[in-house]
């Protein structure tokens, strides 16, 4: 008899979700402050250098060709605005890329547009002296440096956290699969069953049908389990990551490969609402938890010829 993927009751989802949320809280409380402090010092130095080279921003246009070519100073320039301007938004608003060649083009016209875009959104509370056309006081300069470095460091840490959480989760799943005797193979596009890894193999970051999966596992009985790794920091965020992404992919994969071949799954960590978990499961998505990888292992052990 073919092994059936686990389906969880509301009570089981409730216990698992509570455990996952508790682990999320513990992780967030234990995250070292050093990561932020190190980032803050780096950004503080960049802001100080930027103010020094531009005479407290009075010569920002004049110094644009110099400061915009240094990545750290370019980041500091983006955080002069409030809210800060992302690199992608700045490219759009300034109608240029941020490459050295683009900034140099047409006698630095692109660089001037970058500065114009930033100054248009300049935070007047942090840099009051610019609009008043005067030098800053020592206290104003220090307050501006501290506030700007703090904003940049916070954003940097948050971005790194989102990226590393997902990457770490994928790596843990990959390591676990290897520990269960599965072999990792290079990724490939899988348009049909003939493109799948061999039974007992898996690959990462692969196109499964028309949608990319974080991992694709070929069970030993020949079925394919595309796995999406999802880390959520709130129940609202979980709707986007689980229901609007992973569950939608599950429906597509089942249509493309059929229920006899495809076993869409998601590996979860963080905060999820029970109602959203139930809805995703009802759409054909098998759910596992990062804190209980042995449930995944038990199914894979049972899925044999």
Q: Average pLDDT for residues 59-64, to the nearest whole number?
A: 92
Residues 143 and 73 in one domain: yes
Residues 39 and 19 in one domain: no
Residues 237 and 187 in one domain: yes
pLDDT at 174: 96
Question: Distance of CA 146 to CAs 48, 118, 125, 130, Å?
Answer: 10, 19, 13, 17
Question: Distance of CA 103 to CAs 57, 67, 77, 234, Å?
Answer: 19, 11, 14, 40
Task: Tell me whether residue 4 is in a domain.
Answer: no
Residues 39 and 149 in one domain: yes
Task: Tell me whether residue 168 is in a domain.
Answer: no
Q: Coil, strand, or helix at residue 246? A: helix
Residues 208 and 136 in one domain: no
Q: What is the pLDDT of residues 6-52, one digit of tens each?
A: 999 999 999 999 999 999 888 777 666 778 889 999 999 999 999 99
Model confidence at 272, in pLDDT bands (50, 70, 90)?
A: very high
Task: Tell me whether residue 175 is in a domain.
Answer: no
Q: What residues does 225 pair with on adjacent strands?
A: 217
Are 240 and 180 contacting, i.e. CB atoms less than 8 angstroms apart? no
Q: State how far the Cα of 89 lies from the Cα of 78, in Å rounded to an integer.
A: 10
How high is the mean pLDDT of the chain? 92
Tell me the pTM: 0.68
Question: Distance of CA 46 to CAs 73, 110, 296, Å?
Answer: 6, 22, 47
Q: Could you tell me whether strands 286-289 and 201-208 are parallel, antiparallel, or unpaired per DSSP bridges?
A: unpaired
CA dihedral for 155, 157, 161, 163, sign (positive or negative): positive
pLDDT at 102: 81
236: Cα within 13 Å, side-chain hemisphere: 0
Q: Average pLDDT for residues 262-283, to the nearest whole number?
A: 96
Last residue of a domain, one of 158, 191, 210: 158
Q: Average pLDDT for residues 95-107, to the nearest whole number?
A: 84
Q: What is the pLDDT of residues 129-156, one digit of tens each?
A: 999 999 999 999 999 999 999 999 999 8
Whole domain around residue 203: which residue ranges? 10-31+180-302
pLDDT at 162: 63
Q: What is the pLDDT of residues 161-212, one digit of tens each?
A: 766 677 889 999 999 999 999 999 999 999 999 999 999 999 999 999 999 9
Q: Average pLDDT for residues 54-59, to the nearest whole number?
A: 96
Task: Tell me whether residue 169 is in a domain.
Answer: no
Q: Average pLDDT for residues 270-294, to the nearest whole number?
A: 96
Task: Tell me whether residue 172 is in a domain.
Answer: no
**What region, left, alpha or beta, does residue 289 occupy, with left being phi > 0 and alpha being psi -120 to 50 degrees?**
beta
pLDDT at 163: 61
Q: Average pLDDT for residues 237-251, to the nearest whole number?
A: 91
Residues 84 and 105 in one domain: yes
Residue 292: give its domain's CATH number.
3.40.1350
Last residue of a domain, one of 158, 192, 209: 158
pLDDT at 32: 63
Residues 15 and 66 in one domain: no
Q: Answer whether residue 1 shows pLDDT above 80.
A: no
CA dihedral for 78, 84, 88, 94, sign (positive or negative): negative
Question: Distance of CA 205 to CAs 1, 177, 288, Å?
Answer: 31, 15, 19
Q: What is the pLDDT of residues 74-85, one digit of tens each?
A: 999 999 999 999
Residues 43 and 131 in one domain: yes
Name the domain count of the chain: 2
């Amino acid at each position: 008899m073919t092994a059936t993927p686990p389906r969880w009751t509301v009570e089981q989802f409730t216990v698992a979700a509570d455990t996952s949320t508790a682990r999320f809280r513990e992780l967030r409380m234990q995250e070292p402050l050093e990561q932020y402090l190190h980032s803050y010092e780096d950004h503080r130095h960049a802001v100080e250098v930027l103010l020094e080279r531009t005479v407290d921003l009075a010569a920002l246009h004049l110094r644009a060709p110099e400061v915009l070519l240094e990545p750290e100073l370019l980041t500091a320039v983006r955080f002069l605005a409030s809210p800060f301007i992302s690199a992608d938004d700045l490219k759009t608003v300034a109608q240029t890329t941020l490459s050295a060649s683009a900034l140099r083009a047409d006698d630095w016209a692109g660089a001037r547009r970058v500065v114009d875009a930033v100054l248009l959104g300049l935070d007047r509370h942090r840099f009051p002296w610019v609009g008043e056309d005067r030098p800053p006081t020592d206290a104003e300069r220090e307050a501006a440096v501290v506030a700007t470095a703090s904003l940049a460091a916070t954003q940097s840490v948050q971005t790194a956290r989102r990226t590393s959480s997902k990457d770490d989760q994928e790596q843990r799943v990959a390591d676990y699969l290897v520990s269960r005797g599965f072999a990792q193979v290079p990724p490939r596009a899988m348009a049909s069953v003939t493109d799948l890894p061999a039974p007992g193999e898996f690959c990462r970051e692969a196109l499964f049908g028309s949608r990319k999966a974080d991992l694709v596992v070929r069970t030993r009985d020949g079925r394919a389990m595309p796995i999406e790794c999802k880390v959520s920091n709130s129940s609202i965020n979980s709707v986007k990551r689980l229901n609007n992404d992973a569950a939608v992919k599950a429906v597509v994969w089942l249509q493309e490969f059929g229920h006899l071949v495809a076993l869409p799954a998601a590996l979860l960590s963080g905060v999820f609402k029970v109602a959203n978990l139930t809805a995703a499961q009802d759409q054909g998505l098998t759910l596992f938890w990062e804190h209980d990888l042995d449930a995944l292992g038990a199914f894979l052990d049972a899925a044999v010829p």
